[in-house]
């Protein structure tokens, strides 16, 4: 037959007849294939453990994945507990210390990990019994050492301190609290207080309650057959004792009656993080599941999506805008998010709502549908290259009571979707008038613009609504607030009496101790700050003779005049408030704000070159609680002590843009009006 076509082509061309092909038209797509899966072998032990085996002999490796199928857990006062369980299980067993466990894993080139609902291990085929021995030792015999929990809590507290200044994290906390409710497992917030309350008994109780075979699935993937797998599973998991596991019910989240705006004020922010979300009932078993995947891809998942095309390509507001449409047996959520410049915050929210409403009201085009189908089918096809996904598919079918052909018919069901199907799903599930609009950014710059979408309610970093603080005295000025601060720290006379000062401080970064010193010479406007690690000076800032120099790693740089003025305003004096008006700085009282649950006056201090410092002073006692500075970062003042009649902050949390986590700094020595020498400022 092939020869016949070649001969026919030769005859036609010999008479000058050319075959005509219109290359501007794509050929029609063929029918979507039905994927034929080799069903994993499956069996169930007497203790209830369900096992799925996916043979794959391409590599001589075997992997074991244990998954617990428990209900979502509301942790309440112990929020953060589940984050410790896996690490605590890996911290040693009754027969192996953590170090011995790590050494044995490394010796055979294996991997082993645990979480609050999982335990997994993988190794070469020849070491499969070794990894199973280690895996089940962790499963059956964890000892939960107190020192490991103490270390994990300390690490978590450090991470939380850093997260308080991460606008993306904060937007997520508030959005989750609004969408699901703070009494729901998906809406609760881990805080320093809840982490501190977690005890060793809490970890042990969780382990004893939920690590049961009758709610567990075990997937085995790799160079192994069903018969061998059955022998190994019986040997290593047959003695695992089943038990009763509690079930939980939660109140179903509801849509808001109208769009609601939630704002967390971060005055030093130059960008706004926007998250628009609402709860939605969607799960794998929902007949609209496939249609919502396509709908969301068109709206905000693909690079050429409507949200990204509008906000990035057309308007130039952002580097990217995305949306997601969740799927969860309990409750899911729709979310659209982006980060934009302060000045286009309200415009960006307007455009996001416009795109959601436009899709809900007017639907999609045939071209958009075909593009989405091509992308989603390609993604699904690539997922089949990973044998682990095949095991996950098999578990999902059992876990969620899906049709047996749910995954094998995936491409056919995707291909069968029509424009009308997607439009119907958009009209049904998108709620442009019933959304939570969360924004983290500079409240002074963006609040008024956001009012067109609803009255903005203020929130804090815990996801709690806070009352917008009203100034107690309408006639109070920024100068009055600064004067109150000077009085609170000891009075103007006491501060004016400080001519020189020396401070010693200490902090810790990722286990390394930092020592810091500072020397102040008020009359000559000199400052020296040094950072020392393990006895070695790693950085130094010197301000004198109208210039500022920063030295680090043997290199020195003189700052620009503008940078010098910024350093001078923020750091030159131990009590800078005394010199604000003397130096001609502009002071503006920009309302009031909540800082760590305390009402404060917000004062913006600007120097003649445009630099700014934003300070927050307690309405109750006048002390400065927080200072925000784009150059050096944000500082929270946690504790003051009196030295020679002057209150000096001695415990501070410093968030510097150059540091991965905040510096929890403690002042260990304060000397006022002591001799200083020229060499102190060299």
- Structure-block tokens of residue 167: 């606008």
Predicted pLDDT of residue 629 = 83
pLDDT confidence tier of residue 472, bands split at 50, 70 and 90: low
Write down the mean pLDDT value for the chain: 90
Q: Quote the pLDDT of residue 424.
A: 98
Task: Take residue 25 and report the two structure tokens written for it.
Answer: 């038209």
pLDDT at 413 over 70: yes
pLDDT at 187 over 80: yes
How many helices and strands (H and E) does the chain possess? 20, 25
Confidence at residue 31, expressed as pLDDT on a 0 to 100 scale: 59
> In this structure, are residues 18 and 203 in contact, taking their beta carbons and an 8 Å threshold?
no
- What domains can you pick out in the chain, each with its CATH number? 41-164+191-237 (3.30.830.10), 260-386+409-458 (3.30.830.10), 478-681 (2.50.20.10)
DSSP per residue, 416-445: H--HHHHHHHHHHH--TTS-EEEEEE-HHH
* Per-residue confidence (pLDDT) for residue 69, from 0 to 100: 96
State mean pLDDT over 148-175. 91
Residue given tokens 């400022």 in the structure block: 681
Strand order in the sheet with 118-124: 41-44, 50-55, 216-222, 61-68, 118-124, 111-115
pLDDT at residue 386, rounded to an integer: 84
Residue 594: pLDDT over 90: no
pLDDT in tens, 311-345: 999 999 999 999 999 999 999 999 999 999 999 99
Question: Residue 101 and residue 136: Cα distance in Å, rounded?
Answer: 12
- pLDDT for residue 37 is more than 70: no
For 67-94, write each residue's pLDDT tens digit.
999 999 999 999 999 999 999 999 999 9
pLDDT above 70 as % of the chain: 93
Specify the pLDDT at position 159: 87
Note the pLDDT of residue 13.
Answer: 35
Is the confidence at residue 460, as pLDDT, over 80?
A: yes
Q: Collapsing DSSP states into helix, strand and coil, what is residue 91?
A: coil
Among 544, 540, 569, 562, residue whose Cα is nearest residue 552: 540
CA distance 659 to 539: 14
In degrees and rounded to multiples of 5, residue 245 shows phi and psi of -120, 130
- Rounded to two decimals, the pTM is 0.82
> Residue 9: its pLDDT value, please?
31
Residue 599 has pLDDT above 90, yes or no: no
Can you tell me the mean pLDDT for 419-434? 98
Most confident of 79-88, 399-408, 571-580: 79-88
Task: Give pLDDT, residue 491.
Answer: 95
pLDDT the model gives residue 10? 33
pLDDT of residue 596: 80
Beta bridge partners of 262: 438, 457
pLDDT of residue 2: 36
Rounded Cα distance, 530 and 552, in Å? 10
Residue 1, pLDDT > 50, answer: no
**pLDDT at res. 109:** 95
DSSP bridge partners of 579 = none
pLDDT of residue 71: 96
pLDDT at 131: 96
pLDDT above 90 covers a percentage of the chain that reads: 72
- pLDDT given for residue 29 in this prediction: 56
What is the pLDDT, as a whole number, of residue 238? 96
pLDDT tens digits, 5-22: 332 233 223 334 344 545
What does the block give as tokens for 538? 């790693």
Tens of pLDDT along 197-246? 999 999 999 999 999 999 999 999 999 999 999 999 999 999 999 999 99
Spacing of C-alpha 83 from chain mean position: 14
pLDDT at 146 > cutoff 90: yes
Task: Give the residue from 427, 263, 275, 259 showing the smallest Cα distance to 336.
Answer: 275
Give mean pLDDT, residues 275-287: 97
Each residue's pLDDT tens digit, 600-634 = 999 999 999 888 899 999 999 999 999 988 777 78
Q: DSSP states of 573-628 as a string?
A: SSSGGGGTTTTT-EEEEEEEEEETTEEEEEEEEE-TTS-EEEEEEETTT--EEEEE
654 or 148, greater pLDDT:
148
Rounded to whole angstroms, the Cα distance separating 467 from 626 reads: 19
């Amino acid at each position: 037959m092939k020869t016949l076509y070649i001969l026919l082509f030769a005859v036609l061309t010999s008479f000058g007849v050319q075959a005509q092909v219109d290359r501007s038209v794509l050929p029609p797509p063929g029918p979507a294939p039905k994927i034929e899966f080799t069903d994993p072998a499956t069996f169930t032990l007497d203790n209830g453990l369900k096992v799925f085996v996916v043979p794959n002999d391409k590599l001589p490796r075997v992997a074991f994945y244990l998954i617990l199928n428990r209900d979502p857990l509301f942790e309440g006062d112990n929020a953060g507990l589940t984050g410790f369980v896996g690490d605590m299980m890996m911290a040693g067993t009754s027969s192996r210390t953590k170090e011995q466990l790590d050494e044995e894993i490394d010796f055979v080139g294996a991997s082993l990990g645990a979480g609050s609902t999982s335990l997994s291990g993988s190794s070469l085929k020849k070491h499969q019994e070794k990894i199973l021995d280690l895996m089940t030792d962790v499963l059956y015999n964890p000892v939960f050492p107190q020192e490991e929990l103490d270390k994990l809590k300390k690490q978590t507290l450090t991470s939380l301190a850093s997260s308080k200044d991460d606008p993306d994290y904060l937007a997520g906390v508030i959005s989750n609290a609004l969408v699901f409710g703070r009494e729901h497992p998906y809406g609760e917030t881990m805080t320093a207080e809840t982490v501190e309350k977690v005890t060793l008994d809490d970890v042990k109780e969780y382990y004893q309650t939920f690590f049961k075979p009758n709610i567990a699935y075990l997937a085995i993937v790799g160079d192994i057959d069903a018969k061998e797998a059955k022998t190994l599973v019986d040997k290593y998991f047959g003695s695992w004792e089943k038990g009763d596991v509690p079930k939980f019910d939660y109140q179903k989240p509801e849509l808001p009656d109208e769009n609601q705006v939630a704002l967390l004020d971060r005055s030093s922010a130059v960008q706004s993080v926007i998250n628009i979300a609402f709860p939605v009932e969607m799960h794998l078993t929902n007949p609209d599941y496939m249609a919502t995947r396509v709908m969301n891809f068109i709206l905000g998942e693909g690079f050429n999506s409507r949200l990204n095309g509008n906000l990035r390509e057309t308007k130039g507001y952002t580097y990217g805008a995305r949306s997601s449409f969740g799927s969860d047996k309990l409750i899911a959520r729709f979310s659209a998010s982006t980060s934009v410049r302060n000045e286009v915050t309200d415009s960006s929210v307007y455009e996001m709502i416009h795109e959601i409403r436009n899709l809900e009201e007017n639907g999609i085009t045939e071209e958009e549908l075909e593009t989405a189908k091509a992308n989603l089918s390609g993604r699904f096809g690539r997922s089949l290259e990973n044998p682990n996904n095949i095991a996950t598919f098999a578990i999902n079918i059992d876990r969620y009571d899906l049709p047996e052909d749910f995954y094998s018919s995936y491409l056919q069901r995707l291909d069968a979707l029509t424009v009308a199907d997607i439009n119907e799903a958009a009209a049904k599930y998108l709620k442009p008038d019933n959304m939570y609009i969360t924004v983290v950014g500079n409240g002074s710059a963006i609040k008024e613009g956001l009012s067109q979408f609803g009255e903005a309610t203020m929130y804090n970093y815990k996801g709690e609504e806070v009352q917008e603080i009203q100034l107690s005295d309408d006639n109070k000025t920024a100068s009055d607030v600064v004067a109150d601060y000077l009085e609170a720290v000891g009075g103007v006379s006491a501060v004016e009496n400080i001519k020189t000062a020396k401070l010693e401080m200490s902090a810790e970064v990722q286990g390394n101790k930092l020592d810091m010193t500072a020397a102040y010479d008020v009359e000559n406007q000199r400052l020296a700050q040094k950072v020392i690690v393990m006895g070695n000076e790693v950085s130094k800032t010197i301000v004198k003779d109208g210039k500022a120099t920063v030295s680090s790693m043997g290199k020195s740089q003189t700052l620009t005049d503008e940078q010098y003025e910024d350093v001078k305003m923020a750091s030159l004096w131990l009590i800078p408030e005394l010199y604000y008006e003397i130096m001609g700085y502009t002071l503006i009282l920009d309302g009031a704000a909540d800082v760590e649950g305390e009402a404060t006056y917000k004062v913006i201090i600007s120097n003649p070159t445009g630099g700014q410092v934003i300070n927050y002073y307690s309405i109750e006692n006048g002390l400065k609680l927080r200072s925000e500075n784009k150059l050096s970062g944000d500082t929270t003042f946690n504790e003051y002590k009196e030295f020679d009649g002057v209150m000096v902050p001695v415990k501070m949390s410093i968030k510097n843009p150059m540091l991965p986590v905040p510096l929890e700094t403690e002042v260990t020595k304060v000397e006022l009006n002591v001799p200083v020498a020229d060499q102190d400022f060299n």
